[in-house]
Amino acid sequence: MAAALETSGIGNDTDGVAGKTKRVERPITNLNTAEAVEHFRKVVDEWAKEVMRTKASARKALIESGIWDKSGKLTKSYRSS
């Protein structure tokens, strides 16, 4: 099992310190079979439909995933330079 961090939403820089981040055990996904790949695609599609319902939920998902910073700019890992 691999450990993952789950956050309670957008907040300030001290959220993790305040105990709002919890560790959740999740199984390691093996995508070596066609069935596993299809299952992964379905899960991603469901997640995408959920987070793209509104502009605010899409923005929240991009910030939580580390693609955008809180001001809406790409984080350093995703900028081209």
For the chain, the structural domain boundaries read: 1-30, 31-81
Which pLDDT band, with edges at 50, 70 and 90, does 10 fall under?
low
The rounded distance, in Å, linking the Cα atoms of 71 and 38 is: 35
- Percent of the chain topping pLDDT 90: 44
**Nearest-10 crossing angle of helices 55-64, 34-51:** 120
Which pLDDT band, with edges at 50, 70 and 90, does 15 fall under?
very low
**Full-model pTM:** 0.52
Predicted pLDDT at 31: 81
Mean of all residue pLDDT scores within the chain: 77
